[in-house]
Amino acid sequence: MKFKGKSWVVPDDIDTDQIYHGQYLPVTDPHEMAKYALTFTPGKENFPNEVSEGDILVTGKNFGCGSSREHAVICLQYNGVSCIVGESFSRIFYRNAVNLGYPVLECPGITKMVTEGDEIEVDLDSGLVKNLRTGKTITGVPLSDVEAEISNAGGLLEYLKTH
């Protein structure tokens, strides 16, 4: 699977309250969740209005630390963010993304080679990321066996229907 899009960049240690604040936890409709994505991340308060379909989120280390809320993945998914490439992810966030069949790539060094707004290309299977502005490339760590099977099936619940 390959993605190409404009990048948004957030720093290290963005926690789930910054991605999707606890005050919106009672929400159960994913379209409504999308309205609150990243609105507690400094400088990204207006993200849901500014993001476009197909954009790619680039994150610092430990993205998604904090709560187990799956809302944090869903709110990005429903804003049309096509995939997330991060220095590293908190495990629950990563796991939730895999379970939802949502593309994530762990890619140490990514924030050093992408400036917000750069057009980037991500190949999920090989892990190759290319910055189309600078021409530089870097290779991340693709999903492992069980994770890839689940993600490629479209997520855990789809996977269970066929296994």
Partner 1 sequence: MPGKTIAEKIFSRAAGRDVFPLERVWLDVDLAVVRDFGGPNVVLEYDKQFGNTCPAHPDKIAMTFDYQAPAKVTKVAENQRICREFAAQHGIKSVYDVQYGIGQHVLLERGRVLPGEVIVGTDSHMNLLGAVNAFATGCGTTDLTAAWKTGKLWFKCPPTFKVIVNGSLSSPTGAKDLTLFLMNKIGTDIANYRAVEFYGEAIDNLDLAGRLTLASHMTELNIKIPFFSHSPSVHSWLEERAGRKIEPIEADADAAYEGVLEYTVEGLRPVVAAPHYPTNVLPAGAEGVVGQKINSGFIGSCSNGRIEDFREGAEILKKAGGKVHPDVRLIVTPSTKEVAIQMLHEGLYDIYMEAGAMVTNPGCSLCTIGHHGVLPKGDVLISTSNRNFEGKLGRGGIIYLGSPAVVAASSAKGVITDPSTL
Contacting residues toward partner 1, per CB under 8 A: 13, 15-18, 21-23, 25-28, 40, 62, 65-70, 73, 88, 90-92, 95-96, 99-100, 144-147, 150, 155-157, 160
Considering only CA atoms, which of 126, 121, 99 is closest in space to residue 54? Answer: 121
Give 28 or 162: the residue with its C-beta nearer to partner 1: 28
Give 47 or 120: the residue with its C-beta nearer to partner 1: 47
**Closest distance between partner 1 and the C-beta of residue 95, in Å?**
7
**Closest distance between partner 1 and the C-beta of residue 128, in Å?**
24
Strand partners, 121: 4, 130
- Do residues 9 and 38 lie in contact, with contact meaning Cβ atoms separated by under 8 Å? no
Q: Which helix (H) or strand (E) holds 138?
A: strand 137-139
> Cα separation of 36 and 51, whole Å?
12
- Do residues 115 and 87 lie in contact, with contact meaning Cβ atoms separated by under 8 Å? no
Give 132 or 160: the residue with its C-beta nearer to partner 1: 160
**Closest distance between partner 1 and the C-beta of residue 1, in Å?**
20
Give 53 or 161: the residue with its C-beta nearer to partner 1: 161
SS3 36: coil
**Closest distance between partner 1 and the C-beta of residue 22, in Å?**
4
Give 118 or 158: the residue with its C-beta nearer to partner 1: 158
Beta-carbon count within 10 A of 42 CB: 10
**Closest distance between partner 1 and the C-beta of residue 145, in Å?**
7
Please report, as a single letter, which amino acid is at residue 24: Y
